[in-house]
Structure 1
């Protein structure tokens, strides 16, 4: 993973900043408080949002602004991405908009701060904390990893080395084991309850009760069968009597029905005869219509161009007319197309002529505008020449100031710096002399006070007995010397002030001369460019005028051709009118042929109607003959039924039916009682059978539960084994990582401490670190000095980073190695070793290292140097790229 570019607007101290980051080592250089770390915080914030901040969202918005925008471009695993974040502050809240998208054509897009953070975490296989612990050594946190508690350090390194997920899996397996255990206990309780219910139901002996109930049901059903047999006999007697009565009733009904049918048949015969008469009249009318259609047919033959009205003649005439119509239609279409084409061509040519004329006019106008622009450019060049002359006169006047000066123009800035340094030295001397003079005067005053009191100013004894009573003269002489030296220094300061004032004037003069030189050169270039522009405009104007003449001639030629095309269109239109007349005549003949066909069809239809009417009359005559036969049969049957009706037989049948119905009423009541008893027995039997089925169901459920309990017991053992396996696997992998991390750490350690008193490092299974001196004595990292401990921590960070890069190279490339002010706790010697460590990481293939530092020695390790400066007037920071070699040479610590 590599940062490509970061662009900021109103982010912390930055108003507008745009920085591209390349591969290799980039050092972000600048004074303390200039905003160096804010660049890295912006990259971190772009990836992880609020999770990357130690404060709140509103703290990243530049003071005095209410909106922040930043964009980060980065590549990962061959794919380029862009993250945009925008913060808007209003009503004591901050609105956070965020989007991420792939910029290489792949369809990857995420919207929303949460969605982007999750995507980045999955992409880099690191959350914000892991990113800091692996690749981002933030300012003041160089010792964070080694100062962490053992458990915290173990969790951090395990997560970085992807072992945390195994602990997560072990915890999930533990949760699953507890869940299986809960389900197993619940199933066991249900199984015990089922077995208790089975025992209770079995004690009630439902099978014995079922046998007794079925025996009673058999007796009741036998009694019911006997009564039902007697009832069937009574029903048969009743039905026989009813049948006799029904037969007589049917005979009466049939007699009445036959009377009605006789009347209906006689009426139908009369109606059919009337219908036959209507068909006869319709046949007469159809014959008259045939004669009329035949007369019309003869009238249309001549118009249609036919000699006879036959199908062959009509088809031949129609084919002839169709052929002529097709020929005329083709000619007509062709002529219409030609006429339209000529009209379109004439219109297009006229339009092109107008376009050419308009373009000619436009070219003429453009030529005039170019001539005017050429005059303006020439005037601009003349104005530049006049300004150059004025500047040269001013420069000549300014150069005369250096004729009487004792310093050259190129050395005036250096002279001013020298004078200021001398004045600074003199002022320091004045301050020293003033302090010394004050002290000397205080000593003289104290000595004089002692002398007035009769005591020695040196030892405090009586003046007569004091061996050093004359020391006050020396102090007085010192006061005089210091007063004279102070006066001389102040005079020297005044002289230097005057010299500085004169040199500052010369510096301003030299600066003005530089400005005049630059302006003169620029104005000369602009004057030359203006004259060249004027010449180009004049040449273009001449070309425009020539092009206008060509276009005018072209327009005239196009109008002549357009007139020719209009005449051709009119000729084609006349021929179209002639063909339209021919087509109308053909259509009239075709219509007459159609009329002949219509009359023939009408005659055929009328003849068919006559034939159908004749057939219908014959059919109706046959129907009436059939009806007359049926009428005779019905009359004979009516006579038979009138003789068959016997009133005495009907009365006897009625008596037998009444006796049978009385018996059936009595037996039905007994059967209803027995049926109720049978229903009660059947319900009781069903209930007992339900108890038996419930008992069997409980036994089946018990067996199923027993099988489930057995399966759950097996699953519980498997999940417990899985939980143990994850724990063992994590421990095994941790030991492997410990060995690899110990290897990479000692390789880095050898580079940093190879020539010191330390021999190697040991790392135990909980990532506890022990440093061994060359004499074999073991030390805790806390026993190292502050600088050694900081460098030791950087070594540990780099070793972890190396292990990650070696372990997952190609699948999830590691992010850039970022060091924010890593030299805070380092002295000069340790900074040199940090430079060696950085070079070693480059040798291991780390593609991008970004270092924030104000230490000049780190500049020598940089491939790219970014300088951050803050304007004290606006309190806004800016970033610029600098020449690495030039900056290193100018820096006090540069090589």
Structure 2
């Protein structure tokens, strides 16, 4: 796997950054706090999301921004991939709004799915990535400082041995589960065997035969009594039929009697209603005659001779049309009047507006006359101010005669001094860090010497070859203190120089401001002078315009009087038309009264006709009722003649005797039925017990077979559990031997020292360093620089072990070293350079090193420089393709300090 490109937007201290990454060794160089580590964290975050962060998600977004975006292009297994993550801050929190991984097989979306895809692709989660390929800042000693159990779990997980332990635990859980089921089935088998024995002791088949014999005897008696009961039932049914027929005839006779009474009553009621309708017809006829007289009287007051509906309606329509014509003329005249009223009002309002405008222009002319005097005084003042500003400008320019730079060069001079001051402060910070580390080494060495041990290896002083190094450390402290004092004096000098430069910039800005003010005053003077003549001319124009407006206002008032006269004439015509319209309305009302009376007469005549039809219908209904009455009377007489009282009494006696016999037989049958039910229930119970016994026997055979299979499965799970444990132990031993070899190769290549014979790694990943004389050392007994280099060698050896173990199947991710020199003194930094060169020699495709140390630049194939703007607090990256030229450039920058 190789990182090809990283692109950032609003990520931590970066505004926008876009960086290509090549094969080989890439060194990301820059001062402390410039944002170097953030580049690698962005790559890590692109792959694993929030799992790669030590802090909260919102802290990856640049302060003051609402969104950030990270894009990573990388190659893996010969294919190209692109992953993009976008984070948005909302309501005090942050969430991932975009997460997409694009590859040759298509796209994967969603933070969880992308992280799962990356873990499957690299065969390592975020924690494994850190333990194997990403040595994060300050964590170089993470593996060696871990407890034996933690170190064992970390390395086993990296070597995929943790899966075997997981499988062993699963096999153990499966074995316990089988044991639980086996015990349960054994208990069930014992219980079933007890049940089978209990049922076999009941002799169920003999009991079933005895019950079958008793049941057959009871069924025979039931058949006998049912045969005697059937004739009695037939006799009872015949008697019931005769009695029912008698009851039906009596019921029919009663129905016919009621029908005859209803028909007689209906006929009488209908005759009464016919008489009432005749009276109603006479009343309505009298009302028609009264209304006809009223209509004739109303018709006399109109111009129509006949009450004919068409003649009356025609005249009403003619009068309405004539009245509508009058109303239309009223509306038109009213509109014309309103028009004249509006013209009069508009003319008067316009006259008032013109008079007001004339007054305003005369007032304006007076104000302009006063402004002229004031403007003449302002022009004189502006000329005096121009002369004063010209003198001030000349004085400021003359002050640059003794300055270190000429006028116009102060800004560039200030930026140059500020850059020198920033570099000097950075150098002071680096020296303070290095001095603190050196002092700590001296204190540790003095503590060991006081205890009688070597400062470097922790052995007794008389056996150690390194006792003399403490003097070198003390000399190094003195050198750093002197160098730090010089650097601080340089910072103070540059701060004073910067203050002078800023004063020059401020003076130059003041000159520019004065020149701008002089230019503005000159322009204003020209404008004021040119405005004097135009203002005098405008005063005369305003007075002439006021005279014209007053003349136009007088003409408007005359037009208003003419419009008011025309409106009064229209008002008189409207009054005449309203009187005519009222007279026409009265004539229409009289004719409408005639028409209404005619309609009422017509309605009454229709009602009279309806009543006549209803009387005729009632007469027809009575005729039909009389025919039905005669038929029902005849049917009732026939039924009364057919009625036989003696036959009915004989049938009732036969029914009583049959019912008494059936009652006795039913009681006996009920007794026999209960006995039969008891026998059938007992017989069914025995049958059920026999079936249950057969089921228990089958259940016993099935449980016995299951117990046998579970016993075999329990033994197989136990053997599988032991197999996984043995396989893990065997593979761990193989990896331990290989890891020990790789660790010794790496450590010997980068730290050749006659004091050490080698490194031993046991099966629990416990590390021991052996001196040439055979004495064992714990890694904690090494000097600070040796211990840090030892841990880096261990991390690189693990990386090589994984790479060699899966070569050609899943290429390893880049080897990333973030500030690996933090725990190294200057003497051991060169050894780190050797380590990087060694890993490149072993064929690691891509190594990324983040450091502020200039010594590592020489090991770079590509150099990336990181800088932070102190004003905006934003970091930028620059890519140098030629590492040699970049190293020379860094040397020149260091020399400038």
TM-score, normalised via structure 2 length = 0.51
Shift of 1:214: 2.0
CA distance in 1 between partners of 2:728 and 2:107 (Å): 34
SS of residue paired to 1:16: strand
Shift of 1:33: 0.9
Shift of 1:224: 5.2
Shift of 1:211: 2.8
CA distance in 2 between partners of 1:98 and 1:738 (Å): 43
List aligned pairs for 1:623-642, cutoff 5 A.
none
Contact 2:72/2:82 (CA < 8 Å) preserved in 1?
Answer: yes
- Give the structure 2 partner of residue 65 of structure 1: 65
- Give the structure 1 partner of residue 886 of structure 2: 887
Q: Deviations over 1:437-466 (max 9, x none)?
A: xxxxxxxxxxxxxxxxxxxxxxxxxxxxxx
Shift of 1:665: 9.7
- Give the structure 2 partner of residue 180 of structure 1: 178
CA distance in 2 between partners of 1:663 and 1:877 (Å): 119
SS of residue paired to 2:810: coil
CA distance in 1 between partners of 2:102 and 2:80 (Å): 6
CA distance in 2 between partners of 1:733 and 1:171 (Å): 17
CA distance in 2 between partners of 1:49 and 1:818 (Å): 18
Aligned-CA RMSD value: 3.8
Contact 1:762/1:770 (CA < 8 Å) preserved in 2?
Answer: yes
Is 1:823 the equivalent of 2:839?
A: no
CA distance in 2 between partners of 1:108 and 1:165 (Å): 29
CA distance in 2 between partners of 1:890 and 1:827 (Å): 24
Is 1:764 the equivalent of 2:765?
A: no
Q: Closer, same or farther in 2 for the Cα pair 1:670/1:28, shift >3 Å?
A: same
> More displaced, 769-778 or 703-712?
703-712
Shift of 1:891: 4.0
List aligned pairs for 1:118-137, cutoff 5 A.
118-137=116-135
- Give the structure 1 partner of residue 45 of structure 2: 45
SS of residue paired to 1:25: strand
Contact 2:215/2:680 (CA < 8 Å) preserved in 1?
Answer: yes
Q: Closer, same or farther in 2 for the Cα pair 1:213/1:777, shift >3 Å?
A: same
Shift of 1:892: 4.4
SS of residue paired to 2:49: helix
- Give the structure 2 partner of residue 84 of structure 1: 84
CA distance in 1 between partners of 2:50 and 2:659 (Å): 100
CA distance in 2 between partners of 1:660 and 1:60 (Å): 106
Shift of 1:672: 6.2
- Give the structure 2 partner of residue 97 of structure 1: 97
SS of residue paired to 1:101: strand
- Give the structure 1 partner of residue 689 of structure 2: 691
CA distance in 1 between partners of 2:724 and 2:717 (Å): 11
CA distance in 2 between partners of 1:103 and 1:149 (Å): 40
Contact 2:25/2:847 (CA < 8 Å) preserved in 1?
Answer: yes
- Give the structure 2 partner of residue 853 of structure 1: 851
CA distance in 2 between partners of 1:752 and 1:114 (Å): 41
Contact 2:22/2:846 (CA < 8 Å) preserved in 1?
Answer: yes
- Give the structure 1 partner of residue 866 of structure 2: 868
CA distance in 2 between partners of 1:766 and 1:20 (Å): 42
Q: Deviations over 1:854-873 (max 9, x none)?
A: 11111111111000011111
- Give the structure 2 partner of residue 599 of structure 1: none
Contact 1:11/1:60 (CA < 8 Å) preserved in 2?
Answer: yes
SS of residue paired to 1:87: strand
SS of residue paired to 1:770: strand
SS of residue paired to 2:26: strand
List aligned pairs for 1:654-733, cutoff 5 A.
673-733=671-731
Unaligned runs of 5+ in 1: 243-400, 406-412, 425-492, 509-657
Q: Deviations over 1:786-839 (max 9, x none)?
A: 111111111111111111111111222110000001111222332222222212
Contact 1:81/1:100 (CA < 8 Å) preserved in 2?
Answer: no
Shift of 1:229: 8.2
Contact 2:86/2:99 (CA < 8 Å) preserved in 1?
Answer: no
SS of residue paired to 2:174: helix
CA distance in 2 between partners of 1:154 and 1:673 (Å): 88
Q: Closer, same or farther in 2 for the Cα pair 1:61/1:660, shift >3 Å?
A: closer
Shift of 1:201: 3.5
Contact 1:773/1:779 (CA < 8 Å) preserved in 2?
Answer: yes
SS of residue paired to 2:764: coil
- Give the structure 1 partner of residue 109 of structure 2: 110
- Give the structure 1 partner of residue 217 of structure 2: 219
SS of residue paired to 1:108: strand
CA distance in 2 between partners of 1:229 and 1:88 (Å): 97
SS of residue paired to 1:879: strand
List aligned pairs for 1:340-739, cutoff 5 A.
673-739=671-737
- Give the structure 2 partner of residue 386 of structure 1: none
SS of residue paired to 2:876: strand
SS of residue paired to 2:820: coil
Q: Deviations over 1:395-442 (max 9, x none)?
A: xxxxxx9xxx9xxxxxxx9xx99xx99xx9xxxxxxxxxxxxxxxxxx
- Give the structure 1 partner of residue 410 of structure 2: none
Shift of 1:60: 1.5
Shift of 1:698: 2.2
Shift of 1:715: 1.6
Is 1:139 the equivalent of 2:115?
A: no
Shift of 1:98: 3.4
Contact 2:755/2:771 (CA < 8 Å) preserved in 1?
Answer: yes
CA distance in 2 between partners of 1:756 and 1:32 (Å): 36
Contact 1:83/1:98 (CA < 8 Å) preserved in 2?
Answer: no
CA distance in 2 between partners of 1:178 and 1:661 (Å): 77
Shift of 1:225: 6.3
Shift of 1:2: 1.1
SS of residue paired to 1:772: strand
Q: Deviations over 1:171-193 (max 9, x none)?
A: 11222222222222333333333
- Give the structure 1 partner of residue 489 of structure 2: none
Contact 1:8/1:70 (CA < 8 Å) preserved in 2?
Answer: yes
SS of residue paired to 1:677: helix
CA distance in 1 between partners of 2:214 and 2:841 (Å): 104
- Give the structure 2 partner of residue 746 of structure 1: 744
- Give the structure 1 partner of residue 7 of structure 2: 7
Contact 1:177/1:719 (CA < 8 Å) preserved in 2?
Answer: yes
- Give the structure 2 partner of residue 18 of structure 1: 18
> More displaced, 135-144 or 179-188?
179-188
SS of residue paired to 1:5: strand
CA distance in 1 between partners of 2:101 and 2:62 (Å): 26
Shift of 1:42: 0.7
SS of residue paired to 1:54: coil
Contact 2:57/2:95 (CA < 8 Å) preserved in 1?
Answer: no
Is 1:149 the equivalent of 2:147?
A: yes
CA distance in 2 between partners of 1:101 and 1:87 (Å): 15
Q: Closer, same or farther in 2 for the Cα pair 1:762/1:229, shift >3 Å?
A: same
List aligned pairs for 1:756-835, cutoff 5 A.
756-835=754-833
SS of residue paired to 2:106: coil
- Give the structure 2 partner of residue 489 of structure 1: none
CA distance in 1 between partners of 2:690 and 2:216 (Å): 21
Contact 2:101/2:114 (CA < 8 Å) preserved in 1?
Answer: no
- Give the structure 2 partner of residue 249 of structure 1: none
Q: Closer, same or farther in 2 for the Cα pair 1:852/1:51, shift >3 Å?
A: same
- Give the structure 1 partner of residue 583 of structure 2: none
Shift of 1:734: 0.5
- Give the structure 1 partner of residue 156 of structure 2: 158
Q: Closer, same or farther in 2 for the Cα pair 1:890/1:226, shift >3 Å?
A: closer
CA distance in 1 between partners of 2:848 and 2:819 (Å): 11
Q: Closer, same or farther in 2 for the Cα pair 1:682/1:884, shift >3 Å?
A: same
Q: Deviations over 1:599-640 (max 9, x none)?
A: xxxxxxxxxxxxxxxxxxxxxxxxxxxxxxxxxxxxxxxxxx
Shift of 1:58: 1.6
CA distance in 2 between partners of 1:163 and 1:7 (Å): 36
CA distance in 1 between partners of 2:155 and 2:736 (Å): 10
CA distance in 2 between partners of 1:108 and 1:116 (Å): 9
Shift of 1:661: 12
Contact 2:756/2:770 (CA < 8 Å) preserved in 1?
Answer: yes
Shift of 1:166: 0.8
Q: Deviations over 1:57-99 (max 9, x none)?
A: 1221212222211111112112222221111112111121232
Is 1:29 the equivalent of 2:29?
A: yes
